[in-house]
Structures are given as C-alpha cells and as structure tokens.
C-alpha cells in the first residue's frame, strides 16, 4: 500500500498536509468542548454564578462544535480531492502499462483481471484514502490526546476505560481474524465474476443459438454465489462489531457514573462539585477514546481488501513488458520490405513444447509470400513474430536485414500493415477507422483513405452508407457484415502505406470474386510492398511468388504452386481437397 503513495503528486501531498492540519484542529476543538461542559456544570452548582457566564461557556462550547464540523467538512473535501486525483493517476498509469505489455503479459494476467485491477481495485484504494485520511489519522491523535487529558484522574475510572479497551481489542481481533481472509479473497472472486459475465456477453449469440442460457446461468451462479457467500461471512462477522462497540461505550459510561456516584457519595461536601465536574469530563474523554477505536475498526474493515487491491495494482505496475524496445529506427541501408526467418523456434509462454521448429524462409521487396497449412499448424504464430507480438525463442526474425529485437517497436510497426484474423474495428467513423494509428509519416489524408478503401474493394458499400466516409461505425463494427469489416481492416492496413503487408487469413471472409479483384488491386497499388498472406484457399495463393507449407510448426515445403504440386505431398493433399485435377492443371 505504501508503495502506491509514490504515485501521489506534489499538489496532492500539499493537500494531505492541509487535511492533517484540519484534523488536528478538529481534534483540538472536540477535546476542548468537554472543558466548557465542566465549566457549565461547575457554574450551575456554584452560588453567585450569573447567566451571562453560563451562556458564554455554552457559546464557546457551541463554537467548538461548529468549528469541529467545519474542520471535518474541510478534511472530507481534501481527502476526496486526493482520492480522485490518485484514482485518475492510477488508472492512467495502469492503462499506459497495459499498453506496453506483450501478448505474454496480457495472457498471464488475463483481460478480465486487468479490467478489475484498473477499475474496482483502484476504487478500493481510493475508498481507503477517503476514509483513511479522515479516520486513520484522526483516531490515534484523538486517542492519544484524550488519554493525556484523563491521565492523573481517579485510577478507578482509568481502570474501567482500560477494561473497555481490552474488551474492544479482543472482539475486534476475533472478528478481523475471521473476516480478513475473506476480504482478501474478494478481489480475486470479482475477477472470476467479471470473466464469466464478459464471456457470456461477448458470446451472447452463440449462447442463445445453442439454448445455453441455463448452462451459462449455472456458471454465473457458481461464481456469484461464491462471491456472495464470501461477502456474507465477512460482513456478518463485522456486524458484531458495532453493537459490541455501542455496548462497550454504554457500559463504560455506566461504570464511570457508578464509580463516580460512589466516590462523590463518600467525599466531603466541598469536594463533591469538583468530583462531579471531573466525572462529566472524564466520561466524555473516555467515550472519545472508545470512539477513536471505533474509527480504527472501520478502517480495518476496508484495509485488507484495499491492501490486496493495492498489491494487485502494484503487480501490474511493477511488471516489465517482456518485449523490450531496441534502439534502431532504420533497417540496413538499401534494404526495404525484406523479411527473413532464420531457423526460428518458438514456444508459447507456459506451453510444454515448441510450437514452431526451425522455420526458415524469406520474402523480398514487392513479393507475395503465402503461408498455408492445416488448422493449428502455426501460420498465425509465424506472422505474429514479425511485429513482435511475441519474440522468437531461438533463431532470428529479420526485417530489412536487422533482427526485429533491435528496432524500437514503434519503428518496426511503422513498417508493417497488419490485418488480423478477426477484423477489429473501433467505435467512430469509417474515416477514423481507416486513418487509425500513427505510421510515423504524418496523418493519413482523406485522399489516402479513399484510395485505400478503393483498393480494398470497400468503396461501393462505404459510399452507400449514410454519411459515406463519415458514417458511424459501432464499437467492434457490429453494424457491418463480416466481409465488410474485413475489407475496412484491409483498407486500414493499406492506408498506412507500409513496407510490409501482413494478412492473417484476411481473405476468407470475402467471396471468391472480391478475393480475386482485391488481390489484383493489391498487385497494382502495392507493387513495391512485400505481402505475407496466410490463407486457407489455394485459389487465394496460387499466384504467390513463394508458398511456405507448414505442418505441426515445421516448414515441409516451399516454392511456387507448380513446384509444390510436383514436390510437396502436404501441399498436393491440400490442393486436391479444394480443387479438381482439371482446375489444378
Ligand atoms: N496464446 C497461445 N498460447 C498457447 N498456445 C497457443 C496460443 N495461441 C495459439 N496457440 C497454439 O498454437 C498452435 C498454432 O496456432 P496458430 O494460431 O498459429 O495456428 P494457425 O495455423 O494459424 O491455425 P488457423 O488456420 O486455425 O488459424 C495451436 O495449436 C494453438 O493451440
């Protein structure tokens, strides 16, 4: 928790000091009040006291209460300011950190957990700051100050207060022992709840189509019930605290008055008034000591959860991205659009065996190199190594003659236009989706957008949309068909004017005709751009300059369509499963 305090900015520290000053003022005023109470008690019993004297003491007492109230409001305003600022900083830092993560770290934390950590966990820490500043600091100051006020009075009263504190400590200790582990577990259970809810909502159409509502409901109930039961046990335990504190406070007051009555009864007449006044003051201060403990208990109720939340936030912030930036901005002089895989072996983090083994191939400027192979043979894994979504475990991936690890990721990715297997669009307009990101060469112009949309065979449907290039795209592109989404994703990659275009099975959502026309357009418009195409259809790749055939993460053949039809059995099998011998001839 304290580690997180380093993220407080200087103006938040300044406000914290101000809050501390308000707290000290409030405690001082709270402790001053009983003194005026004692004064009034004395005045009403002493002969010759005048009404103005009593009213003056009463007025001072009221002023103390009002001042204390104002100081409490000021403290609350300060702590809210600090908590809001801290929350904003934390969320920004988490967002920035997660942006720097590679797929390995994202996979390790999991997306639902990263969402909970950036939202709910930050909120838990914020709550601790809001209450903590008001109570965690106030309680010990009040307790210590009040104890100095009652020290030296009758030992019987001090003993009664001591017993009350011991009772409280015992009950609080037992409750915290039971509740703390449950409070700690809550954040992890919230992750689970998030995961199941997210999976259900993102796969809603499949859930409905398969009548799987009951199954999903059961899965949800399991995580929901676990969280609910965990909360119930924790909160039920804490339920005992408040009544115990109340009873202890009442018991303490009773004990003080009881002891006081006995002492006053046996005292000399002259001492009775002083004793009565002492008793009044003592009971007020003793209650304040107990109240201070009560405030600490409230903090202890949220502290364990906030501590877990803080350590989960720290875990994210302290994680170094496994993809480290290199220093190079440029490849070797005279080399552009060159890709080479040199004996690359790759193992997914936490996987038992290697997924890719000894993969070697190259692509030169303006060439089209296709990757083909059965499902799960490692095609996407190969292309994910080019923009460094993962790093090769052994061997080297070179772009423009330089190992991809040596580039700054920004420079490397500026060379690449990547189209993922599942088209991803963002909420905004057609234009904002195409001109997306930074290619290191200034903004993508409207004419670039239109040219890219034209090349991607998307102009026809975009121009029919309301507002054309300014037409609204829903989050995830849900207001478009799969093929339309894919064409806009392709246009986005083309608009970057990259050295290398990577298509991860991006043509399979297109009909055969569009597939053909789009590839022709790419040959025309992107003649100097190296193209790496992952495809399932032989028709999509048969004209490629080189086809790399993958099987179980190994290259089992590479060459042109004709060469492979002659020499590569795996390729022949794939080809014959899709086209007749006449079509292939
Ligand atoms: N993040 C990951 N962690 C662990 N294993 C993974 C991960 N992603 C993919 N794999 C495994 O790697 C293998 C190859 O996956 P990959 O996506 O590269 O295949 P592919 O040839 O592109 O398949 P498809 O044609 O179906 O898209 C699969 O067996 C898959 O289980």
Residue nearest to atom 18 of ligand 1 (CA): 378
Annotate 508-530 with b (16+ C-beta within 10 A) or e (fewer): bbbeeebbbebbebbeebbeebb
Task: Give the span between the Cα atoms of 239 and 171, in whole angstroms.
Answer: 11
Is the beta carbon of 380 within 6 A of some atom in ligand 1?
Answer: yes
pLDDT number for residue 580: 65
Complex ipTM value: 0.95
Q: Determine whether the shortest distance from the Cβ of 270 to ligand 1 is under 6 A.
A: no
Q: Are 183 and 308 in contact (CB under 8 A)?
A: yes
Question: Ligand 1 centroid to 394 CA: how many Å?
Answer: 18
Dihedral angle sign, alpha carbons of residues 504, 510, 516, 518: negative
Residue 85 phi/psi, 5-degree rounding, is -60, -45
Q: Which atom of ligand 1 is nearest to the CA of 536?
A: 25
What's the pLDDT score for residue 541? 85
pTM over 0.90: no
d(CA 417, ligand 1 centre) in Å:
21
CA 300 to chain centre: 24
| Ligand 1 within 6 A of CB of 381 | yes
Map out the domains of the chain with their CATH numbers. 2-318 (1.20.1560.10), 332-415+499-585 (3.40.50.300), 424-497 (3.40.50.300)
Q: How many CB atoms lie within 10 A of CB 182?
A: 21
Q: How many angstroms does the Cα of residue 10 sit away from the middle of ligand 1?
A: 48
- Cβ atoms within 10 A of the Cβ of 422, count? 13
> Which pLDDT does position 585 carry in this prediction?
60
Please provide residue 361's backbone torsions phi and psi, each rounded to the nearest 5 degrees. -165, 165
Only one residue has tokens 């608009």, namely: 495
- How far does residue 80's CA lie from ligand 1's centre (Å)? 48
Is 382 close to ligand 1, i.e. is its CB under 6 Å away? no
Per-residue pLDDT of the chain (585 residues; tens, 9 = 90+): 777 888 888 898 999 999 999 999 998 998 888 888 888 888 887 788 888 888 999 999 999 999 999 999 999 999 999 999 999 999 999 999 999 898 889 988 888 889 989 998 999 899 888 888 778 888 888 888 888 877 777 788 888 888 888 888 888 888 888 888 888 788 889 889 988 998 998 889 899 998 999 999 999 999 999 999 998 988 888 787 778 888 888 898 899 889 988 888 887 777 787 788 888 888 888 888 888 877 777 777 778 888 888 989 999 999 988 888 889 998 889 888 999 999 999 999 888 889 999 999 999 999 999 999 988 899 999 999 999 999 999 999 999 999 999 999 999 999 999 999 888 899 899 999 999 988 888 788 888 899 999 998 888 889 888 888 899 988 888 888 888 999 999 999 999 889 999 999 888 777 888 888 888 888 888 888 999 999 888 888 888 999 999 999 999 999 999 999 888 999 988 888 886 665 656
Tally of CA atoms within 13 A in the half-sphere of 373 that contains its CB: 22
- In the reported structure, the alpha carbon of residue 346 is separated from the centroid of ligand 1 by a whole-number distance in angstroms of 12
DSSP 132: I
Pocket residue to mutate for ligand 1, from 375, 381, 419, 574, most atoms within 8 A of Cβ: 381
> How far is it, in rounded angstroms, from Cα 444 to Cα 498?
12
On whether the CB atoms of residues 382 and 341 are closer than 8 A, the answer is yes
Task: Give the residue whose CA is nearest to atom 16 of ligand 1.
Answer: 378
Where do we find the tokens 């990577």? Answer: 502
CB 241 within 8 A of CB 297: yes
To test the ligand 1 pocket, which listed residue (379, 509, 537) has its Cβ within 8 A of the most ligand atoms? 379
| 553 Cβ closer than 6 Å to some ligand 1 atom | no
């Amino acid at each position: 928790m304290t580690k997180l305090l380093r993220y407080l900015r200087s103006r938040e520290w300044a406000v914290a000091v101000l809050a501390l000053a308000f707290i000290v003022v409030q405690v001082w005023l709270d402790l001053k009040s009983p003194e005026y109470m004692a004064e009034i008690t004395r005045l009403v019993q002493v002969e010759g006291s005048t009404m103005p004297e009593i009213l003056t003491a009463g007025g001072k007492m009221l002023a103390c209460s009002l001042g204390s109230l104002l100081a409490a409001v000021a403290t609350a305003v300060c702590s809210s300011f600090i908590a809001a600022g801290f929350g904003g900083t934390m969320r920004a830092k988490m967002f920035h950190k997660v942006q720097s993560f590679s797929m390995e770290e994202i996979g390790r934390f999991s997306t639902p957990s990263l969402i909970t950590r950036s939202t709910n966990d930050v909120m838990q820490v914020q709550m601790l700051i809001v209450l903590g500043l008001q109570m965690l600091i106030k309680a010990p100051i009040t307790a210590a100050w009040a104890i100095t006020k009652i020290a030296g009075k009758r030992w019987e009263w001090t003993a009664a207060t001591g017993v009350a504190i011991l009772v409280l400590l015992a009950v609080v200790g037992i409750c915290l022992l039971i509740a703390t582990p449950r409070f700690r577990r809550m954040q992890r259970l919230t992750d689970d709840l998030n995961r199941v809810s997210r999976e259900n909502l993102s796969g809603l159409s499949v859930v409905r189509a398969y009548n799987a509502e009951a199954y999903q409901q059961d899965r949800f109930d399991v995580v929901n019930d676990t969280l609910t039961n965990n909360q119930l046990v924790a909160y039920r335990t804490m339920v005992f605290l408040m009544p115990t504190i109340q009873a202890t406070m009442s018991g303490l007051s009773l004990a003080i008055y009881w002891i006081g009555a006995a002492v006053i009864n046996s005292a000399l007449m002259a001492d009775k008034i002083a004793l009565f006044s002492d008793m009044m003051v003592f009971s007020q201060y003793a209650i304040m000591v107990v109240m201070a403990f009560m405030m600490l208990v409230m903090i202890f109720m949220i502290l364990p959860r906030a501590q877990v939340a803080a350590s989960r936030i720290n875990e994210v912030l302290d994680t170094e991205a496994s993809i480290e930036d290199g220093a190079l901005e440029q490849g070797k002089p005279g080399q552009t659009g060159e890709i080479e895989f040199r004996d690359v072996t790759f193992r997914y983090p936490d996987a038992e065996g290697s997924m890719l083994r000894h993969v070697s191939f190259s692509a030169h400027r303006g060439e089209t190199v296709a990757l083909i192979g059965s499902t799960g043979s490692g095609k996407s894994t190969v292309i994910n190594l080019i923009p460094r979504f993962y790093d090769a475990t052994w061997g080297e991936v070179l772009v423009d003659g330089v190992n991809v690890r040596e580039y700054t990721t920004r420079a490397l990715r500026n060379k690449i236009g990547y189209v993922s297997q599942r088209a991803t669009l963002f909420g905004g307009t057609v234009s904002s989706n195409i001109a997306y990101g930074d290619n290191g060469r200034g903004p993508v112009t409207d004419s670039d957008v239109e040219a890219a949309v034209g090349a991607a065979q998307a102009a026809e449907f975009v121009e029919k949309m309301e507002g054309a290039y300014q037409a609204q795209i829903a989050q995830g592109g849900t207001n478009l068909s799969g093929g339309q989404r894919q064409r806009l994703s392709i246009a986005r990659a083309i608009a970057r004017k990259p050295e290398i275009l990577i298509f991860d099975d991006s043509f399979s959502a297109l009909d055969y005709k569009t597939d053909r026309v789009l590839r022709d357009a790419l040959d025309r418009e992107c003649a100097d751009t190296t193209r790496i195409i992952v495809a399932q259809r032989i028709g999509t790749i048969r004209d490629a300059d080189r086809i790399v055939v993958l099987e179980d993460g190994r290259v089992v053949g590479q060459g042109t369509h004709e060469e492979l039809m002659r020499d590569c059995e795996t390729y022949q099998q794939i080809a014959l499963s899709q086209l007749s011998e006449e079509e292939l001839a």
